[in-house]
């Protein structure tokens, strides 16, 4: 055996880390179950009240952060052990991508004189000619003036 391999195998810190990894793997499984319960409770809350529960949001954020910390420790991305060896995550830890509560709006019909956002292209063989005039309605005075001009001509 090479000296490096022998040193690594005899290193008690690596074996101690394995013990912690096994403990955190069990904690991870339990935490996932709790998170599923929080998700279901939040869904039911929104279903019946139409609003999100702030306490469930905060706790769900804490659990998500805790699970993320466990992942980082288990994958050797950090040596910092998660809770209970460190503080439990705060509710604001991963809120940088939070979504604002949607505002309920009443559906209003679109005005009839409003042009569609994109004009449909005529299909092959379609002989209709589309107007390219301005979509604004003309005022009655303009129509009267136009009629008088036509009479004068």
| Residue pLDDT, tens place only, 78-111 | 888 888 777 788 766 555 444 455 545 555 555 5
> Six-digit token pair at 144?
């009267």
E strand or H helix at 107, and its extent? none
In the chain, where the domains are located? 3-94
- Cα torsion for 25, 31, 32, 37, to the nearest 10°? 160
Give this prediction's pTM. 0.55
The more confident residue out of 62 and 150 is 62
End-to-end CA distance of the chain: 110
């Amino acid at each position: 055996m090479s000296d490096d391999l022998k040193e690594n195998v005899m290193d008690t810190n690596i074996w101690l880390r394995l013990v912690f990894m096994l403990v955190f793997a069990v904690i991870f499984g339990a935490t996932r179950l709790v998170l599923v319960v929080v998700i279901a409770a939040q869904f039911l809350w929104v279903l019946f009240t139409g609003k999100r529960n702030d306490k469930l949001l905060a706790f769900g954020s804490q659990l998500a952060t805790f699970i993320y910390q466990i992942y980082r420790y288990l994958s050797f991305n950090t040596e910092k052990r998660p809770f209970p060896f460190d503080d439990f995550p705060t509710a604001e830890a991963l809120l940088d991508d939070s979504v604002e509560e949607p505002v309920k709006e009443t559906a209003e019909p679109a005005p009839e004189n409003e042009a569609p956002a994109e004009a449909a292209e005529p299909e092959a063989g379609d002989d209709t000619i589309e107007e390219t005039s301005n979509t604004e309605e003309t005022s009655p005075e303009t129509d009267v003036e136009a009629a008088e001009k036509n009479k004068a001509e």
